[in-house]
Amino acid sequence: MSQKKTIVLGVTASIAIYKACDIIRRLKSESYDVIVVMTKESEELVRPIVFQSLSNNKVYRGLFDDSSEWEIEHISLADKADLVLIAPATANIIGKIASGISDDLLTCIVSATKAKVLVAPAMNENMYLNKITRSNIKKLTGFGYKFIEPKKGNLACGKAGVGCLAEVETIVKEVKKLI
């Protein structure tokens, strides 16, 4: 019997964060172990207890959170990951990773992991089509990061456009392809 694969799911402060709940459910139904890492800003939208309940795992948040045991969390999580999935991914997190900025737990994990990284952007169309964001995505793609393109739909600003998080089924299918 093969060992259960571990997915570190990074969630950022996109309005699409609620879809991370469905992503966790679907990945768990496929027998993946899901460990959630939240950015500080994402906690303004969803409380960590929601992800803890869905994943049946501790939710990791800050670089310097109190730990019941001594471990360098960003290194241990980076090593544990068979895949790092960032969904939803904001322009901010994409820009930080593309610039090599490691100033929070999620960016440190991405910097330290040898696992594949899969990014599912979700943001306003203007942000997604911004030349800097497009350049950051191109740069990361060149480094071997995989992206799941957002879809066109109704955005949080009330307009329709490209920037909606890809369908959960599409994300799960990409995860399965990569691991």
Angle ∠(51,35,179) on CA atoms, nearest 5: 125
Q: How many CB atoms lie within 10 A of CB 5?
A: 18
Site of tokens 């997604």: 128
Q: List the structure tokens of 52.
A: 């803890």
Of these residues, 21, 108, 157, 164, which one is catalytic?
157
Among this protein's residues, is 157 annotated catalytic? yes
State the angle between helix axes of 131-142 and 91-98 in degrees (0 to 180), rounded to the nearest 10.
50
Site of tokens 């060149």: 142
What is the separation of C-alpha 31 from the centre of its chain, rounded to a whole number of angstroms? Answer: 19
CB 115 within 8 Å of CB 83 = yes
Q: Which residues are catalytic?
A: 157
